Chain A
Amino acid sequence: MRATASAPATTRPIFIGPSLTRVTVVLGGGAILLLSAMVVAVAIGSVGVGLGDTVAILGHRLFGLPMGITVAPGAESIIFDVRLPRVLTAMLVGGGLAVAGTVFQALLRNPMADPYIIGTAAGASLGAIAGLMAPILLPALAIGVGSTWLGLGLVQVLAFGGGLATVLLVYAVSRANGRVPVVTLLLTGYAVSSVLAAGVALLMFFSGQHLGAIFGWLMGSLAAAKWINLAFAAPLLVISATLLVFRWRGLNLLLLGDGPAAHLGMDVEREKIVLTMLATLATSTVVAISGTIGFVGLVVPHVLRLAIGPDHRLLLPASVLYGAILLALADLGARLAGGIPVGIVTALIGAPFFIWLLRRSRMVRVVVTA
């Protein structure tokens, strides 16, 4: 098995780095796929707008090109105000979740790690649901519910803050003698998440007419995507994802274990906290605008590791690209299936594919060492 893992034809020792051809194929191909996925996802929807019209509208609104042809004005609104922000949100969310998942899997050396594992999801869920129910819980707060900043209402702000605060708490609790052992971090995250999940369940029990909204939020949805939300999410996600992509060296070293990484001259605890906070920032941002969408952050890193190997120099940017592609297409499927939650589509189509890939590879290259 070990021999297979480092099969000479495709997998080089990780510190030599991927070949230029490999980078071109994976990232260049990914970029082309991403653009194609974007056009396809924007062109298709429950109301038919021709591909030519779609391209003309996008060219006109994005690059100021003359329209050339006359399209129905409603079509312009559907493409530019309804579909495009939703597709771009899907891409940001997918890319953010996939890169955060890649980081957490390597950081925690745990194949079951996903972006939510150390408490982001539980904290964000409790925050969002408290926000949804604010008018019931505290009538005084209801006045503030309608007001928004960058399109962010109370729900989004509390989700964002809840996710970040929970991870900070988990990290602080796990810390002993200046170190944060991985196992302690995982178990503390689990314990804190359980407490918060109990709070979520309690609120849901008393939620009445808000139950549907809460359920939809927990399933994750991109239906409410709008341009103004992107003004908040896009900068945070681009910055955190970019910084993460450039920390590939640290992640490759951490795969060896905390001890060996430290022996190789790395400030392990500092690297871990920087990675955790960047990945949590990305995750909390995503969760604030889309709810807790599952599966993407868990499986995209695994699929890519099986396909292109565990070197984070290539794996991190690839996870951004392919996570974005996957979620844009999955959301298209969700829209066409009558607006079902996107998490259902990712799991229904993605999980069987993942099983197939696992079986034909006959090995789980989880967070494989070289």
Chain B
Amino acid sequence: MTPRLRRPSTLLFLVSLLLTACAPARSGSPSATTLPSVSVAPRVPAHSIYPLTLSDDAGRQVTISSAPTRIVSLAPSNTEIACALDACDDLVGVTDFDDYPAEVADVTDVVIGAVVDVEKVVAADPQLILAAGNELTPTTVIDQLTDLGYPVLALYPHDLEGVYNDISLVGGAIDARGAAEELVTSLQARAEAVATAVAGADQPRTFYEVGVFEGSIYTAGKDSFLASLLSLAGGEPIVGDAASTAIQLEDLISADPELILLGDASYDPTITVESIAARSGWADMSAVRDGHIVVVLEDLVITRPGPRIVDGLEALARSIHPERFP
């Protein structure tokens, strides 16, 4: 009981806060040699197409002053688009979730645990930032980066067509229109082949399980990308709420799926055909009765709107109509 010590204890608190704050500070390389100005000084344009103004998926007008050779990607799908256009070497910042192609593992992570580290983006000195729409990259972050003077393209494809558009958009932005056109043409041809293969087949009522958490069942949302992909693959998607993508069990039972695709089995080995059949309330569904439950291990490419989305489409079509893919 020493009132005299009260003030020092306050100071102690503040000092301890200071120490706590200082402790994890990495005195990492200031990367001083690689930090040019933010107000992107217009260089001598390498091509006559710059400065170039593009309209992104959020309807924002984005002006790019010169051919970008330093690109930051804030989503794995954007990384895959850039790399498919042969701009992998130009990536100077990606997310910690990026896993494809393998060489991006060496690129600095500027998004860690879904949080964009704005400082690291600035330090990477990008000439183009590829963000994700629909709040995957928070609007506040897009605004902040735009205010700092960077051209930020927000990509948010709603369907396969949207992915093609985004590939063309990025191709335009980085002066790789030819490569983009070529890529889109080949993807379209493959998607066309899938359409031909499943044409005329019965379309089973298909439930794609994205995940089950605490009793809530998540699937393709109404009018979602995933729902459109299931249709293209020759299924009739059973959809959940457009916003939450959840479906209530009784709605699922009354929709009576003829085919259940287990996308979540890609990540969780305990999700098996047997575990689904054992769930209470699921036994009466046609798919469970007839044993039409399929483990899908390609969820990553099915749900990542990059160039490999057509791999996902092919995987879905094979799962829904194995008879058409001998």
- Measured CB to CB, the residues of A under 8 A from B are 4, 7, 9-11, 25-26, 29, 33, 37, 40-41, 44-50, 53, 71-75, 77-78, 81-83, 136, 206-210, 212-213, 216, 223-224, 226, 228, 303-304, 306-308, 322, 325-326, 329-330, 332-333, 336-340, 349, 353, 357, 360-362
Contact = CB atoms under 8 A, between A and B. Distances in A.
A136 B135 CA distance: 13
B7 interface: yes
Contact of B24 (A75, A337, A339): A337
B69 interface: no
Given A73-B36, A73-B38, A208-B242, A349 B9 contact: no
10 contacts: A9-B4, A26-B7, A45-B119, A48-B26, A49-B30, A78-B119, A82-B118, A206-B243, A325-B14, A339-B113
Contact of B16 (A53, A206, A353): A353
B1 A213 contact: no
Contacts of A213: 135, 138-140
B35 A75 contact: yes
Q: Give chain A's interface secondary structure class.
A: helix
B29 A48 contact: yes
Contact of B17 (A25, A47, A304, A349): A349
Given A46-B119, A47-B28, A208-B244, A333 B17 contact: yes
Given A306-B6, A307-B9, 10 more contacts: A47-B31, A73-B37, A77-B37, A212-B135, A216-B138, A308-B7, A308-B10, A336-B25, A339-B112, A339-B113
Contacts of B37: 73-74, 77
A29 B6 CA distance: 15
A336 B16 CA distance: 16
A72 B116 CA distance: 22
Contact of B3 (A11, A226, A333): A11
Contacts of B158: none
Contacts, number: 162
A7 B135 CA distance: 56
A25 B7 CA distance: 10
Contacts of A208: 242-244
A210 B33 CA distance: 39
Nearest to A210: B135
A83 B139 contact: no
B6 to A, nearest CB: 5
A102 to B, nearest CB: 15
A82 B148 contact: yes
Name the 9 nearest CB pairs between A and B, nearest first. Answer: A74-B35, A208-B243, A72-B35, A339-B115, A73-B37, A224-B140, A77-B38, A307-B10, A72-B32
A306 B7 CA distance: 8
A71 B123 contact: no
Contact of A74 (B38, B112, B118, B134): B38
Contacts of B243: 136, 206-209
A44 B34 CA distance: 19
Interface in B127-154: 134-136, 138-141, 143-144, 147-148
A215 to B, nearest CB: 11
Contacts of B22: 40, 44
B6 A361 contact: yes
**B112, B117, B118, B140: which has the most chain A beta carbons within 10 Å?**
B118
